[in-house]
Amino acid sequence: MEDVGFAAISRRANEWLVVPGAAVVLIFVFLVFPILWSLWMSFQVGRGMNFAFGGFANIVRLTQDPVFQRALGNTIVFFVIQVPIMLTLAALMAVALNDPTLRFRGLFRTAIFLPCVTSLVAYSALFKSMFADAGLVNNVLLSMQLISEPIYWIRDPFWAKVLIITAITWRWTGYNMIFYLAALQNIDRSIYEAARIDGVPGWAQFLYITIPMLKPVILFTSVTSTIGTLQLFDEVVNITEGGPADATLTLSLYIYNLTFRFMPNFGYAATVSYVIVVAVAILSLIQFYVARDRRTQ
């Protein structure tokens, strides 16, 4: 009897992958072709499957679309505020947890890293419940007399942004901390010992020894965090659904709405998606330029 189980299918797939050119075909079908198709779609206009070539009509529409401009502004706010806060916290936590005299270091590292392996939907639902009008956060703040009335975290435009920034910072700080921690453990401790002998204070060691040594890792985390923040979707759709009044609407959520919630406009949605591509490219180039080694110039 012929073996048609999963193992046999996997074995035959592996045998096919070693065929010369097979990997190239797969890359073209699943990577290159979708990119080219989306680029072609960005020049199409029309609703649903009834679309035709429209030239630069979608690009012109971007400049006249207040919802897109609001989504772009919200995404920029999240990027400008959240990414520096998150990376700074990650670096400080890594330095603190790299102290060999600290007890229970493994426990603290695990606790801080755990949020990034938590289900996106589960933790978003938890945050939505905790920050409800009568949720845990408001009850604690009221009991401590830090506020006189509940904060409308989800219904107020300003506090909704604060909630989203808090949520993504809580989830991804530990993820970036692991990279910094791994890099710190590769720095020779004799450098810090020599600095202490010379009387260099701790804050100066952090600024003039730790930060320069972490430059490659800082660049990596900055680029990946930039990409992740500009593509922000899960937290927004699960906690605030882009509200109130589009106060937390992001570019990725707007693309989703154009494709699935409104009358499908695949061409315009593709155009908005390329705004993210261009923004990521520009910001990444700026980060690479700022982090370049000036000694080689």
Does the pLDDT at position 219 exceed 80? Answer: yes
Q: Give the helix/strand (H/E) hosting 19.
A: none
In a domain, 153, yes or no: no
Of 216, 173, 185, the closest CA to residue 95 belongs to 185
Q: Output the domain CATH number for residue 223.
A: 1.10.3720.10
| Mean pLDDT of the chain, nearest integer | 87
| CA 253, chain centre distance (Å) | 14
> What's the structural domain count of the chain?
2
Q: Residue 18 pLDDT > 90, yes or no?
A: no
Please, what's the b/e burial string for 219-256 (b: 16 or more CB within 10 A of its CB; e: otherwise)? bbbbbebbebbbbbbbbbbbbbebeeebbbbbbbbbbb
What is the reported pTM?
0.85
In a domain, 152, yes or no: no
Q: Do residues 253 and 242 touch, judged by C-beta distance below 8 A?
A: yes
Cα(126)–Cα(285) distance, rounded to whole angstroms?
Answer: 37
Considering only CA atoms, which of 94, 96, 92, 91 is closest in space to residue 222? 91
The range of the structural domain enclosing residue 35 comes to: 6-59
User: Residue 295 pLDDT > 60, yes or no?
Assistant: no
pLDDT value of position 187 = 84
Same domain, 49 and 173: no
CB of 179 within 8 A of CB of 221?
yes
* Per-residue confidence (pLDDT) for residue 1, from 0 to 100: 42
The stretch 100-123 carries a mean pLDDT of 88
Lowest mean pLDDT among 14-28, 86-100, 107-121: 14-28
